[in-house]
Structure 1
Amino acid sequence: MRSQVTVTWGEPATYRFDLEEVQPMPHDQARAWLDQQFTAFDCEPIRLTGKVLTADKVLGVAQAAGQERFRDAAHRDWAMEFARASSAALAKPTVTVDLATMSVGY
């Protein structure tokens, strides 16, 4: 089964992270990593109710991190952790984080 996370701001700013040969992250560890990053980046809830869904955390962290974190080789380890955490927390092998439309697809 294919395992990949794609983060895009629209072409040509699309970054793919292949998780085929990468150790999966445990679900609880993935959620904790996203929570920590959400807080570290001072992300705001997307929904007016203030409720933060896991998909919202993935979007918020990716948006706050910016394209540089996904594009630059210096941040490759962080980007792979993001991909691993997103895939594990959402329990989906293939995830597309589309920041142009603020949506997460599976």
Structure 2
Amino acid sequence: MRSQVIITWGEPATYRIDLEEVQPMPHDQARHWLDEQFTRMGCEPIRPTGKVLTADKILCIAQAAGQPRFQDAAHRDWALAFARAASAALAKPLVTVDVPAQSLSY
């Protein structure tokens, strides 16, 4: 089964992170990693209720990280950790994060 996370800011800025040859991240560790990044990057809840869903965390983190975090080779380890955490936390092998549309599909 194909395992990949796609992060896009529109067609010329689409980054595909292949997870086929990468060790899966345990679900608990993925949720912890996302929580840590959400806090570290100063992300705010999207919903007026203040409730933060896993999908919201993934979207907020991608937006806060910005396109260079996924584009630059210097941040490759971080981008791979993001992809592993997103895939594991959602328990989905194929995840697409569309930052401008604020949508996540799998």
Give TM class, smaller chain. over 0.9
Alignment-derived partner of residue 56 in structure 2: 56
Q: How many equivalent residue pairs?
A: 106
User: Once the two structures are superposed, what CA deviation does each residue of 1:20-78 show, in whole Å capped at 9, x if it has no partner?
Assistant: 00000000000000000000000000111110000000000000000000000000000
Alignment-derived partner of residue 21 in structure 2: 21
Where 1:16 maps in the other structure, the secondary structure is strand
Where 1:12 maps in the other structure, the secondary structure is helix
Distance in 1 of aligned mates of 2:4 and 2:11: 18
- Residue 8 in structure 1 maps to residue 8 in structure 2: yes
Using the size of structure 2 for normalisation, the TM-score is: 0.99
Matches within 5 A, 1:1-106: 1-106=1-106
Q: What is the CA-CA distance between 1:11 and the residue it aligns to?
A: 1.1
RMSD of Structure 2 on Structure 1 (CA): 0.4
Using the size of structure 1 for normalisation, the TM-score is: 0.99
Distance in 1 of aligned mates of 2:103 and 2:48: 16
Identical-residue share of aligned pairs (%): 77
Runs of 4+ more than 4 Å apart: none
Gaps of 5+ in 1: none
**Which amino acid counterpart does residue 79 of structure 2 have in structure 1?**
A
**Which amino acid counterpart does residue 91 of structure 2 have in structure 1?**
A
